[in-house]
Amino acid sequence: MKKDKKIILGVSGSIAAFKSADIASLLSQKGYDVSVIMTKEAEHFITPLTMQMLSANKVYRDMFEVTDDWDVEHVSLAQSASLILIAPATANVIAKLACGMCDDLLTCTVLATRAPVLLAPAMNDAMYQHKSTQANIERLKKLGYHFIGPVKGRLACGTVGLGRLSEVEDIVSASSRLIR
């Protein structure tokens, strides 16, 4: 059983956030203990209740939420992680991580972990191909972050290009390979 392997699934504000439900479900079915951290922007696309039901765990949303226990949440989540997966990873989240910014629960948890971090980008093709985004991705790769995708396909804006979230099964497979 893999329940001793904890995956933190970060969900950021992209239309592709609806696919994070399938990712959480498939990881849970494979026996991983999945905890979800949602950015405020992600909640515009998918609800915390959906993610809670599919992960069978509390969904973490707010850096300053009052809890019953004393744990510093982003540190305890970071220390418990066998892997942090951010799917979808927006240009905003990628830029924050590349600059070492941590202004929300997700980015603070990533900066506090020693676990592998896998990013699955999803955005408009022009945003993905922008020199700033490409420089941020290269910087993160040099820092040891892992990436899967994006892939070419139909995007939410109606165009076809490189920026579509990788297939759920491919993301789950990549996660399984990286988990420690």
List 99, 102, 108, 157, catalytic entry: 157
Of 110, 166, 178, 169, nearest to 140 by C-alpha is 110
**102 labelled catalytic:** no
Q: Quick one: residue 174, left, alpha or beta (phi over 0 = left, psi -120 to 50 = alpha)?
A: alpha
**In a 3-state reduction of DSSP, which class is residue 122?**
coil
Rounded to whole angstroms, the Cα distance separating 43 from 22 reads 16
Chain centroid offset of residue 131 CA: 22
- Of the chain, the end-to-end C-alpha distance in Å amounts to 14
3-class DSSP assignment, residue 143: coil
Residues with a catalytic annotation lie at: 157
